[in-house]
Structure 1
Amino acid sequence: MFKLRSRILAFLESKKEYPIIAAIATGLYPFLYYYNSNFTLVNSWEQFGFFILCYVFIPICVFYLLYIFFERIDKNKRYLKYLIPIFNLITFSAFVVISTYGFKTKALVLAITVAILIGIVFSRHIKKIIVFQYLLAFFVLLKLVPDIYKVTNYSSKWMAQPDDIENVVFKKKPNIYVIQPDGYANFSKLKDVPYNYDNSNFESFLKDNDFKFYSDFRSNYISTLSSNSSMFAMKHHYYNNSPSGKELYGTRKVIAGDNPVISILKKNGYKSFLLLERSYLLVNRPHLYYDYCNIDLSEVSYLARGFEINKSLVGTMDTLVSNNTETDNFYFLRIMRPSHVSVNKSESRGIKGEREFYLSELEKANQTLKEIINIINNKDENSLIVIMADHGGYIGLNYSMESRIKQTNETTINSIYTSALAIKWPNKVPDFDDKFKTPVNLFRILFSYLSDDTKYLRHLEGDKSYAIINKNAPVGVYEYINENGEVVFSKHKAH
């Protein structure tokens, strides 16, 4: 500690310019801040290389070349004392804005203007500013340690199956379509408080197309990533028993990559298709295990949050179903409507406004679903079609992050988890379909049906619903709904 203090003092008292040290200082804090704030979005090695290049190596090269240019030309030397202060603060400010808000032109112009003025006025104190920048980076690095620990210690053992289901052999092989409208509440709940919505027109459409409804189906978890990673693993992850409130590490890799479900389908000769309206599942560039995805990773920005791309699935489905008649096919489609209430308090329209917006999005989701189902029925009438939501619409809350606050109202809790499930079976409905309660067991039940083997039903996961709570209760993972569908509030004990 004494040596470090001595070196900092020597740096502050030195008459030398340190262009490389100043350059690294401009990007180190914004780089670490971005990682700390968006770790689940940027945890691939490819992204790490990109950010190191942009936040560290490019500033070093630019600073060093500019310094050499000003130092070696006599008429420019009088400006040398302003070079490092101005460029340090311009670059630092621009990186902070980009890391916080993205490429917002007005914010960037304002930040750069202020940076130039500060650089001129406080040019004599630039080394103190540089030390402060490194201190900021150090404190953020400390906050990143838990995430780094997760990366280095991540294990996929939680996905290990308790039986030999990964070797299951299908006796029947219909094309399988799993269509997931985001946040679509169960049909049995839409007509009740807090949704109060007459969805009979769309329900009649589904009934006319031989869909069976599964009332009171609900999600195991409260978000797309936590729900779908559990579904494709056919196992509970319990948020990795993490009290941090952050998403379970590696969820996109589980959903879009080599998971037990896709592995089983491939072993049974299925061709797999991942169809997305938005790039939300691809932002951290997971290795895709699907045979086809309608969004190429080259289309996804390294700074993407997952909502920049907007693709229509209707035309794509029409083409794919027509062009893949000679293979057994599995399609996983993600429709981003009706979604849920706004994420943050600042974006909320209030409980009434959020409900109204949700229902307008529900109508649009219904239209998309009708178009896709019509395509499938017209071109592939003997298929297995599953409409299943990932979670509820959160109606009754002002914003979705309120779900992290302990809730006591049963109606509100059920609104978070209630999820649509309707299935069109290609032939006789299995007599064990009453076991459909939550997504974690969806594929285990479907595979039992396809294999004509009920032994795989012996190892169904518990149909429980979980959430991470960080306010009005000790921080931790809690069971909110038990296997009987009863609202409880019990802290999950790690095994």
Structure 2
Amino acid sequence: MKDKIVNVLKKDSVLPLIAALASGMYPWAFYFTNNFDFVNSWDHFFFFISRFILLPMVVFYGVYFLLKSKYLRLFKTTVLPFLSGFVFFYLVMLALHATVGFNKIIIVFVLAVLVAIACRNIQQLFKKLLIIQFILVLTTGLGFYRISKSFFKYSDEWIEQPDNIEEVIFKKTPNIYVIQPDGYANFSELRKGYYKYDNSTFESWLETNNFKLYHSFRSNYFSTLSSNSSLFSMKHHYNNLFDERKIIMDKNTVVSIFKNNGYKTHFLAELPYLLINRPNIKFDYTNFDVNNISFLSKGLEAERSILVDLPLVLQKNKEENGKNFYFIEKLLPGHITTFKDATTTKEKERLLYLKSIEDVNEWMKNVFQLISENDPNAMIIILADHGGFVGWDYTLQTTNTTSDENLINSVFTAALAIKWPNNEPPTFKHEFKSSVNFFRTIFSYLAEDEIYLKNLQDDASYLTLWDEKNKGLYKVINSENEIVLEKNNSE
């Protein structure tokens, strides 16, 4: 059997196949294991198969059949090494940068020429290069192992509700708008800690427009995906997640409840960050068509204007006169830089963040005006997903243990302001503390039934720590809003 395999591999007709596999497998495996959250769909699988494997194979075999009659030696010694080098370096560039401009193509071309010259002058070099390319694929094995481990370990059971809240019937049915400014710190935290920002002008504007501000509100998790997964599931997941976008856009308990109560549901965003891995979409309407999103996108391109899209949707829904739920996502003010090598100084990061606060304040005023003109009796909710991380050097530094109360609060503090219909907030006594219980409380208000408040989740906030002292998921803020450090045993 070994001899038969060796004899097959020695055939000239097999060389294009081997070269195509060698050229495309490592860039594909590298991109997949380093960007799994962005590419974990069957659409992405077939895209990468066709572009990274099948297309090189077609090109290599096409050139092979053109040259094999008279120039087979030239094909084997020069043309195939050039094609293999060009495709390999091009796909590596594509995997690293998502796009390959003219300057990078020139670099790729020069490298491919050098490979062709070297292989023409040194016998057996091309085969050794192919072996190296296949060995590079093995370097992605740890990434594939971690992905496979998460896949087989993961279960959706955590989403299941402890009661029948999914069957809740609303007695109040206002149109509801949830506006989520990414990383907008709570009003109470902005004026102190590491933020030290006077946001009183915007706060006064909110109160003048009948918003009730909820101070000390916070998220339960530190990122947009993990926080919103908990928000829309009304459950703790303890970071035991495999595909957060699927939870938010498809297995969304909150959207299901709205739809069960006859609501039409809408998702509007300026960037397709929550759509890039092409999840099934439970929302009735989105202002992005996933088919128009690049397969290599990180969700921070193809910007749309909510101030343009929202009026069109509002006018249409006004004519239909139905019940509507809107989730409007704005990726501002955001947070300080994510990576250590991109950070500047804490003060510069703070000033950039605060400038974004000013920008998003004006944007929210414009959105409010659009809504109030078309839907004056709506419930309008400003609900951030987490804090701005101001005070840290960079966001991923949060894996280090700290007892600094202001640093921890900076991660989780989240703005919450609600314009209640008829300016009448709930009469039952309940304090909005964290995002995991937010919609359960809203549903109790809409249903005029406090029974759903009997199964509230723990209002705790969690961080994954990874330093010499602590490793794993830790509760860092308890339900009494106290800074703690408790290893989580519910992972």
Bin the TM-score by the shorter chain: over 0.9
1:351 and 2:346 matched: yes
TM-score when scaled to structure 2?
0.94
1:421 and 2:403 matched: no
1:258 and 2:251 matched: yes
Letter in 1 for 2:29: L
**Is the contact between residue 67 and residue 83 of structure 1 (CA under 8 Å) also seen in structure 2?**
no
TM-score when scaled to structure 1?
0.93
Alignment of 1:402-413 (within 5 A): 402-413=397-408
1:229 and 2:229 matched: yes
Alignment of 1:316-331 (within 5 A): 316-325=309-318, 326-331=321-326
**Deviation at 1:249?**
1.5
Separation in structure 2 between the aligned mates of residue 14 and residue 487 of structure 1, nearest angstrom: 68
**Is the contact between residue 68 and residue 75 of structure 2 (CA under 8 Å) also seen in structure 1?**
no
**Deviation at 1:167?**
0.3
**Deviation at 1:155?**
2.6
1:286 and 2:275 matched: no
Separation in structure 2 between the aligned mates of residue 198 and residue 64 of structure 1, nearest angstrom: 66
Aligned equivalent of 1:485: 481
Alignment of 1:20-169 (within 5 A): 20-72=17-69, 74=70, 77-105=73-101, 106-123=103-120, 124=123, 125-152=125-152, 154-169=154-169
**Is the contact between residue 217 and residue 418 of structure 1 (CA under 8 Å) also seen in structure 2?**
yes
Aligned CA distance change for structure 1 residues 94 and 316 (closer, same or farther; 3 Å) = same
Aligned CA distance change for structure 1 residues 57 and 379 (closer, same or farther; 3 Å) = same
Aligned equivalent of 2:331: 336
User: Any unmatched runs of 5+ in structure 1?
Assistant: 241-247
**Deviation at 1:473?**
3.2
Aligned equivalent of 1:379: 374
1:202 and 2:197 matched: no
**Is the contact between residue 158 and residue 237 of structure 2 (CA under 8 Å) also seen in structure 1?**
yes
Separation in structure 2 between the aligned mates of residue 249 and residue 29 of structure 1, nearest angstrom: 24
Higher mean alpha-carbon deviation, 250-259 vs 25-34, is at: 250-259
1:399 and 2:394 matched: yes
**Is the contact between residue 176 and residue 378 of structure 2 (CA under 8 Å) also seen in structure 1?**
yes
**Deviation at 1:287?**
0.8
**Deviation at 1:152?**
5.0
Separation in structure 2 between the aligned mates of residue 364 and residue 433 of structure 1, nearest angstrom: 35
The alignment partner of 2:376 has SS state of coil
Higher mean alpha-carbon deviation, 313-322 vs 154-163, is at: 313-322
**Is the contact between residue 182 and residue 332 of structure 2 (CA under 8 Å) also seen in structure 1?**
yes
**Is the contact between residue 227 and residue 439 of structure 1 (CA under 8 Å) also seen in structure 2?**
yes
User: Any unmatched runs of 5+ in structure 2?
Assistant: none
Aligned equivalent of 2:358: 363
Aligned with 2:466 (options 461, 465, 470): 470
Letter in 2 for 1:479: K
**Is the contact between residue 71 and residue 80 of structure 1 (CA under 8 Å) also seen in structure 2?**
no
Aligned CA distance change for structure 1 residues 193 and 378 (closer, same or farther; 3 Å) = same
Once the two structures are superposed, residues 164-216 of structure 1 have per-residue CA deviations (whole angstroms, 9 ceiling, x without a partner) of 00000000100000000000000001111211111111111100111111110
**Is the contact between residue 34 and residue 143 of structure 2 (CA under 8 Å) also seen in structure 1?**
no
Once the two structures are superposed, residues 130-180 of structure 1 have per-residue CA deviations (whole angstroms, 9 ceiling, x without a partner) of 111111112313421221343355432110000000000000100000000
Separation in structure 1 between the aligned mates of residue 158 and residue 98 of structure 2, nearest angstrom: 35
**Deviation at 1:429?**
1.2
Letter in 1 for 2:62: L
The alignment partner of 1:192 has SS state of coil
The alignment partner of 1:281 has SS state of coil
The alignment partner of 2:47 has SS state of helix
Letter in 1 for 2:39: V
Letter in 1 for 2:393: N
Once the two structures are superposed, residues 202-253 of structure 1 have per-residue CA deviations (whole angstroms, 9 ceiling, x without a partner) of 111100111111110011000000000111011111111xxxxxxx322111
**Deviation at 1:377?**
1.7
Separation in structure 2 between the aligned mates of residue 371 and residue 303 of structure 1, nearest angstrom: 33
Letter in 1 for 2:201: N
**Deviation at 1:409?**
1.6
Aligned equivalent of 1:447: 443
The alignment partner of 1:435 has SS state of coil
Higher mean alpha-carbon deviation, 466-475 vs 288-297, is at: 466-475
**Deviation at 1:76?**
6.8
Aligned equivalent of 2:16: 19
Aligned CA distance change for structure 1 residues 419 and 128 (closer, same or farther; 3 Å) = same
Aligned equivalent of 1:303: 296
Once the two structures are superposed, residues 3-51 of structure 1 have per-residue CA deviations (whole angstroms, 9 ceiling, x without a partner) of 98x8998899888861101111100011011010000100011111111
Once the two structures are superposed, residues 99-151 of structure 1 have per-residue CA deviations (whole angstroms, 9 ceiling, x without a partner) of 01221423342133123202321343111111111111123134212213433
**Deviation at 1:69?**
1.1
The alignment partner of 2:257 has SS state of helix
The alignment partner of 1:480 has SS state of strand
Letter in 2 for 1:216: S
4+ runs deviating over 6 angstroms: 6-17
Separation in structure 1 between the aligned mates of residue 5 and residue 239 of structure 2, nearest angstrom: 42
Higher mean alpha-carbon deviation, 22-31 vs 319-328, is at: 319-328
| Count of paired positions | 484
Separation in structure 2 between the aligned mates of residue 140 and residue 295 of structure 1, nearest angstrom: 33
**Is the contact between residue 70 and residue 80 of structure 1 (CA under 8 Å) also seen in structure 2?**
no
**Deviation at 1:267?**
0.5
> What percent of counterpart residues are identical?
40
**Deviation at 1:75?**
5.4
Once the two structures are superposed, residues 242-282 of structure 1 have per-residue CA deviations (whole angstroms, 9 ceiling, x without a partner) of xxxxxx32211111113111111000000000000100000
The alignment partner of 1:329 has SS state of strand
Aligned CA distance change for structure 1 residues 298 and 23 (closer, same or farther; 3 Å) = same
**Is the contact between residue 220 and residue 464 of structure 1 (CA under 8 Å) also seen in structure 2?**
yes
Higher mean alpha-carbon deviation, 150-159 vs 438-447, is at: 150-159
Letter in 2 for 1:338: P
The alignment partner of 2:463 has SS state of strand
Separation in structure 1 between the aligned mates of residue 9 and residue 347 of structure 2, nearest angstrom: 57
**Deviation at 1:315?**
2.5
